[in-house]
Amino acid sequence: MLLNPVISKLVGKRVVLASGSPRRQDILTNMGLRFEVVPSWFKETLDKSTFAEPHDYAIETAKQKALEVARRMYLKHHITPDIVIGADTIVTLEDSILEKPVDKQDAYNMLSRMSGKEHSVFTGVAIVLCRSENENELETDVIDFYEETKVKFADLSEELLREYIDSGEPMDKAGGYGIQALGGMLVEYIHGDFLNVVGFPLNHFCKKLAELFYPPPKYTIQRIKHDSIPYVETFEGLSDVESESSTHIQCPKATNTLDTNDLASDAKTHRANGSTTPYTCGQMSAENSSNAIVFPSKMTKLLDGFKASKALFVACRLKVFDILKERGMLRAMDVAKKRNISVTGTERLLDVCVALGLLEKTHQAYSNTDLANTYLVTDSKYSLHDYVMYCNDHVWPFFTNLDAAVKEGTTLHHGTFCKNHEHLLQDSQNMLVKQRLSAMHSFVKVTGRAIATAFDLSKVKSACDLGGCTGTLAHELVQIYPNLRVTVFDLPHVIENVSSFQPLGQCAAQVAFTKGDFFKDNLPEADLYILSRVLHDCSDEKLHTLLTKVSDSCKPGNLLLVVEIVLDEDKRNPRALLQSLSMTEGKQRSGSEYKHLLQKYGFTNVQIKITGNILDAILAIKE
């Protein structure tokens, strides 16, 4: 096999090895592959007894290592690698899995058991293909395989064993030996791939790469049609005559090539929707497609979007993610028992969460992904659980009346979060203020840092966050700017309920809370005024009242920071436009519209920062 063509396909791609093993690094480097090393943080705690074969355990461990690195790079470092390679090597003797010894005694026990016997070395390898083209979500496809090599040890003397163990070499190697170094003197013979015993089956890996980049030529694919049975692809050697006379449409297999991302995406959607019909190509020639219409994947996503969101809401309501974080990997019946609910219904919900990328499934046991642990577990620092529940309890019902709102030109509801006064009074009476505050608090915990760092505010000494709710953004600001003091100005019944949301520490003293109505009362003095998610919800009359008050309170050179979703000029951002459907009297605006609006009230040098987060930032100076 020619390896250079395969390696050349990876030039310019971000290839990551999810292993700190110097042996694996050497093997891949020697083949000419350029890659970066990001050791996996995956804890190798999988229950070996749940795997039917030893190689299944090695494959699953390799896959979890690679997926952990891919998700960590994407979530924490905002990097999408092209390919992540994970590997795990185990040694088996008489159906027992021998991994790395924990100490010298453990090494001695392993090696003495293998003395004079044949054992197997398995390496599981996972190749994770990553992309984040649509909706800023990480999508992955996993290709995995394993290699087995038989190794026979000579009869080992006690002295040889002790000397080898004292060398220190066995301590970081599966089975307690390294065949490429001193451990080679223990080996009588091997059957299979030598490099597999070292830690990485290079030949098998290259073959997999070749399958990905060089799928079988079309003349090796034959479609056999039977009555009432879908087309079946068989790889047989057809004669030239047969292949040339074939009129069947040749459809590349999405799982075998990196050059069919769109096709793979459509196929993935097709599978995720639970379809049992055979998947067909998204593009066909006109002469062959007259009787074949492929349902568009984008339409499928739109139609099923509400189902996915409701599944997320229910999983959060049941606190599935809390259970799995606390207990680790659980079967559906264990989760159902914890919540005293149907096992069948629980299994269906968990499988949906796996398909949505919120859970992982390993041999009928479920566990959280990093995404779930970070944003959906209730005690996580950046938990969005309360915001998800707010969407379920309040936003979801509003949108059930969308048809009437569109026909009548009315609004879906009156008020959002803690920005609209009349609705907050009603919420206060209905004991819902804390739920709304908690939702806003979790939302700003995730978005606050991007807003606080959008502009350099180091010269600002005092700020006033108008309608700042629990002060989450204020606390982010004082952490970044230690000399800054922030006053949170909000309605009395809001301020009375914020104590439970306050952090401990020195920064807490730099944030003060003042009761008031920014439409009616005088505003506290400040160098910087903040309007976070306020302007979009105001009618023209209220907008004029508020911006006039802020402008009058500003001295020349004072700043105004507006935090909103900023529409693109062509107004094609679906999330912002969907948000506008639930508006009250206000509206969403583009950058130029915000700039024109602020200039009307004496604010100049308007700067707009598209953060890439949920909310954007606008900074203006009072002239």
Which residues are known catalytic residues?
A: 88
Bridge partners, residue 466, by sequence: 489, 531
Instruction: Return the closest-CA partner of residue 601 out of 566, 563, 549, 555.
Output: 549
Q: 360 with 64: CB under 8 angstroms?
A: yes
Q: Which two tokens stand for residue 192?
A: 């299979």
- Give 456-476 as a 3 state SS string: CCCCCCEEEEECCCCCHHHHH
Instruction: State how far the Cα of 559 lies from the Cα of 137, in Å rounded to an integer.
Output: 35
Work out the number of other CB atoms within 10 angstroms of the CB of residue 297: 20
CA distance 142 to 126: 7
Neighbours of 228 (CB within 10 A): 4
Give the residue from 482, 464, 449, 456 showing the smallest Cα distance to 530: 464
Query: Cβ contacts of residue 309 below 8 Å, gap of 6+?
Result: 391, 396
Phi-psi region of 69 (alpha: psi -120 to 50; beta: other; left: phi over 0): alpha
What residues have CB less than 8 Å from 290, skipping those under 6 apart? Answer: none
Q: Across-strand partners of 513? A: 488
Rounded to 10°, the helix 332-339/343-355 angle is: 120
d(CA 213, CA 129) in angstroms, rounded, equals 12
> CA 542, 546, 547, 549 torsion: positive or negative?
positive
Q: Coil, strand, or helix at residue 315?
A: helix
CB 144 within 8 A of CB 211: no
Residue 276: DSSP 8-state? -
Distance, in Å, from the CA atom of 349 to the CA atom of 353, rounded to the nearest integer, reads: 6
Any idea of the CA torsion for 521, 523, 529, 530, to the nearest 10 degrees? -30
If DSSP codes are grouped into helix, strand and coil, which group holds residue 14?
A: coil
Instruction: Determine the angle formed by the axes of helices 297-317 and 320-327, rounding to 10 degrees.
Output: 70
Please give the Cα distance from 621 to 623 (Å, whole number): 6
Task: Decide the pairing of beta strands 139-153 and 118-131.
Answer: antiparallel
Is residue 562 within 8 A of residue 535, CB to CB? The reply is yes
- The H helix count followed by the E strand count for the chain is 24, 21
What distance, in Å, lies between the first and last C-alpha atoms of the chain? 71
Pinpoint the alpha helices (H) of 356-484: 370-375, 385-390, 396-399, 402-408, 421-429, 433-452, 472-480
